[in-house]
Amino acid sequence: MVHLVGSLTDCCVIGNRCDSFAPDGMSVMSTSQFTPRVFSGIQPSGGLTLGNYLGAMKRFVDMQDAGTHETIYCMVDLHAITVAQDPKDLAHNTRELCAGFIASGIDPEKSVLFNQSQVPEHAQLGWIFNCVARMGWMGRMTQWKDKAGKNAEQASLGLFAYPALMAADILVYHATHVPVGEDQKQHLELTRDIAAKFNHDYGVDFFPITEPVIEGAATRVMSLRDGTKKMSKSDPSDLSRINMTDTADAIAKKIRKAKTDPEPLPEALDGLDERPDARNLVNIYAALAEITPQQVLDQHAGSQFGTFKPVLADLAVEKLAPIGTEMSRLMEDQAEIDRILARGAERGREIAAPILAKTLEIVGMVR
RNA sequence: AGGGGUGUAGCUCAGCGGUAGAGCAUCGGUUUCCAAAACCGACGGCCGGGGGUUCGAUCCCCUCCGCCCCUGCCA
């Protein structure tokens, strides 16, 4: 709460300062004049995996606990419907993702936690950004080209405009930092382009040029069946992934059946260069134990997988099963989850509303 | 909008009047330090929807819907 009050004050300061910047088109853009604030959005598309946990959730918790930035975490349901969604699944997935956040250690009082559609400022700023972004920029997005492909005629307009809404998600909070994986780097670039163009076109220094927070190398969790492919909720084999909702038995079984090779674990990391499946298990162990992959090898060099796997399975069960249990406990009280989301949205709006209001004023909307 | 093509297992496709098959994928077993590979086995389909012809339709006819390609039209 303290954070929130502080940030509101800062927002107003930023807003006011903006007028004095207006005549000075040359002003150097810097994030230093903005409240340090992390925003991250995750699509509630269902099926939280170990990859999501180690690659995103766990880091979100670390950022929250570091206390150096305000942290805003958002379930982007408006993005989810750029592709067809079953309404019941969408609602369920949103609540389950919320449960996942909390079970993983996100404190809804420390962080701002909500679903996107409950903060209408996202969509409102999104429209303005639709008018800032250029068709050409969007057409160049590799994710658009990948997802729409040759069926672009079939894709929704929303899928095309997606990156502009994402820019709004970030900038409606004047977020200074966004954790990004490889796949989102280009979208963040576009967010920066939109902020810069807006600032330039209106002669203001209103939106920050958001910085990426690059994710660590070891956080890429690969498929348990094919160490060269990313662990994915859409893989046809459920044995290829560990779901956050898996039981202890399921987790143990999946690790036991994970693909490996016949060699023992090496002493040095470069011994894993040509062994993606082995490297993946070592990386997973390291991430779960919160040690480096080299430290894993220090402890287990020479081990065959017949002995390493049970140790890894025990560790995974110890770390993950409680999260899954807590998720299902939370899911039993839907009203409580909805209450948390509503409260998060309220706090989100307290930050976003003044920024949107100032944006509208800059653009020339009569208030 | 007109012409052509197409719609069968999760995917790629075969069948074409007697209520369906292959490969791959998935799952299980044997094997193996655990896995992989190999072998064995299992699961799996209102054959796009509706109507009609027929003793009987995935197969023929009508109609609707979806998708692909070509041509055209509108802005």
Q: pLDDT tens digits for chain A (367 residues)? A: 222 222 323 333 233 333 333 333 333 345 568 899 999 999 999 889 999 999 899 999 999 999 899 999 999 999 999 988 888 889 999 999 999 999 999 999 999 999 999 999 999 999 999 999 999 999 889 888 877 766 777 788 899 999 999 999 999 999 999 998 778 899 999 999 999 999 999 999 999 999 999 866 546 899 999 999 999 999 999 999 999 999 999 999 999 999 999 999 999 999 999 999 999 999 999 999 999 999 999 999 999 999 999 999 999 999 999 999 999 999 999 999 999 999 999 999 999 999 999 999 999 999 8
Within 7 Å of a protein beta carbon, the nucleotides of strand B are: 10, 25-28, 32-36, 67-69
Question: Which residues does strand B reach (CB under 7 angstroms)?
Answer: A 150-151, 153-154, 225, 236-240, 256-264, 304-307, 309
A145 is annotated as an active-site residue: no
d(CA A17, CA A353): 17
Choice among A88, A150, A197, A230 that is catalytic: A230
Tell me, what's the ipTM? Answer: 0.84
A147 is annotated as an active-site residue: yes
Global model pTM greater than 0.80: yes
**What element of type H or E holds A252?**
helix A248-256
Span CA (A239) to C1' (B39), Å: 22
Buried b (16+ CB within 10 A) or exposed e, A69-93: bbbbbbbbbbbbbbeebeeeebbeb
Q: Are A296 and A303 in contact (CB under 8 A)?
A: no
Span CA (A151) to C1' (B46), Å: 29
Phi-psi region of A149 (alpha: psi -120 to 50; beta: other; left: phi over 0): left
